[in-house]
Amino acid sequence: MTRKVSQWVFAAVTLALLAIAAVGLLAGNQSPGDRAYAIEQRLRCPTCKSVSVAESPSQTAAGMRQIVAEQVAAGRTDEEIFGYFTQRYGQWVLLDPPFAGQTLLLWLLPLAAAGGGVLVLLTRGKVGAADPDQLSDAERQRVAAALDAYRDREPEDDEP
């Protein structure tokens, strides 16, 4: 297989595995406790400000965890639960910014960076890649001289 074909195969297999993992994670059945924890991970603690409600030891976070558990048990959707907290604390309480308005750039910038990285990886082999069989006569002479010098050198004591 040529190098270019193997790069495309590697990229396709990697994307397929990532898609399978994402679908498995998204489609998997969650217990109410797991679902509540996932929601708590996406809510910011109003007291600590830099950690999620799930990780915060504050009393406010403990109260928010209790509310999340109650609302999950009551059968509310994730959007309803986030709406409940957004109504009380504002958009700031969400650790994941909404996909709209001013936060749109926060979502699109990593995608653009990933796309640029993939482009660099796919074109990396083309730029400056010389065929190793296409050496100039001067380069062949230097390689031959270096090999001769290596072969003619004195063996060291620790070599067998």
**pTM reported for the whole predicted model:** 0.50
| Residue-wise pLDDT tens digits, 78-96 | 999 999 999 998 888 888 8
- Per the CB < 8 A criterion, the answer to whether 77 and 71 are in contact is no
Q: What pLDDT score does 40 carry?
A: 93
Q: Which residue has the tokens 């290596």?
A: 150
Q: How far apart are CA 88 and CA 85, in angstroms?
A: 5
Percent of the residues in the chain that have a pLDDT greater than 70, as a whole number = 88
Nearest-CA neighbor of 39 among 58, 53, 59, 60? Answer: 53
| Residue-wise pLDDT tens digits, 98-124 | 777 777 777 788 889 999 999 888 887
| Residue-wise pLDDT tens digits, 8-28 | 888 899 998 888 888 877 766
Q: What pLDDT score does 91 carry?
A: 85
- Per the CB < 8 A criterion, the answer to whether 81 and 92 are in contact is no
Which run of H or E residues covers position 142? Answer: helix 137-152
Q: Look up the CATH superfamily of 31-102.
A: Cytochrome C biogenesis protein (1.10.8.640)
**Residue 52's Cα: distance from chain center in Å?**
20
Q: What pLDDT score does 80 carry?
A: 94
Q: How far apart are CA 155 and CA 45, in angstroms?
A: 69
Q: What pLDDT score does 153 carry?
A: 83
Nearest-CA neighbor of 43 among 20, 66, 21, 22? Answer: 66
Q: How far apart are CA 133 and CA 129, in angstroms?
A: 12
Q: pLDDT band at 57, cuts 50/70/90?
A: very high
- Can you read off the two tokens belonging to residue 109? 């910038």
